[in-house]
Amino acid sequence: MWLRAQNVKNIDIVTPDNKKTTLTFEKLTGVTLQSLDRLRIYNHAGEYRSTLKGVKGALLKNVLTDMALGEESPKVLSEYYIVCIATDGYKVVFSWNELFNTPIGDNVLVVTNIKEATNGKQGGELALLSPEDIATGRRYVKQLQTIRFFRVNL
């Protein structure tokens, strides 16, 4: 059975207590957008796969900044991780500190023009990229649909 790719224009953001906020494509494109002239995509083995051109998107940390997590103290934020999920179930993970406390977070993009950046080769409206990763394809989420916050429970 073949699954047809969905044309996702909104992102659901879900907090650890399962409160869901839907971020519309219009609101996402209304924030300050970053751009990349080119980004080469490499797989896990370091092999070149493709080049994205003219990428535009919002910084993931800016998209998530206003999310209320109900933390009792700022140091609890170090216990959070974020899972970005595609329509086909592909998932990638970032820690809260990685996004908000390292140079990687200064570059992770929710891409708003992926169809254009792939010259029509990728469907959907949204994707997620981590340009500072060595294997850029590992955290390239095509057809981004959901972002979920979790708290480490040990």
Residue 113 in any domain: the answer is: yes
DSSP states along 4-22: PPP---EEEEE-TT--EEE
Residue 92 in any domain: the answer is: yes
CA distance 54 to 57: 10
Residue 26: CATH number of its domain: 3.90.420.10
Number of domains comprising the chain: 1
**Burial class (CB within 10 angstroms; exposed 0-12, middle 13-18, buried 19+) of 144:** buried
pLDDT value, residue 3: 42
The whole-model pTM stands at 0.90
Residue 88 in any domain: the answer is: yes
Residue 3 in any domain: the answer is: no
Alpha carbon distances (Å) from 10 to 39, 42, 103, 144: 24, 27, 27, 9
pLDDT tens string 130-141: 999 999 999 999
Residue 1 in any domain: the answer is: no
Residues in Cβ contact with 131 at an 8 Å cutoff, skipping those fewer than 6 apart: 36, 39, 107, 108, 109
pLDDT value, residue 1: 36
State which residues form the domain around 50: 10-151
The confidence band for 148, taking pLDDT boundaries of 50, 70 and 90, is very high
Retrieve residue 143's tokens: 């057809």
Query: How many C-beta neighbours within 10 Å does residue 114 have?
Result: 25
Q: Note whether 87 and 5 are within 8 A (CB).
A: yes
Residue 4 in any domain: the answer is: no
Retrieve residue 70's tokens: 């109900």
Residue in this structure with the two tokens 């949204």, named with its chain if needed: 126
Q: Are strands 20-24 and 10-14 parallel, antiparallel or unpaired?
A: antiparallel
CA distance 119 to 113: 10
pLDDT tens string 71-106: 778 888 999 999 999 999 999 999 999 999 999 999
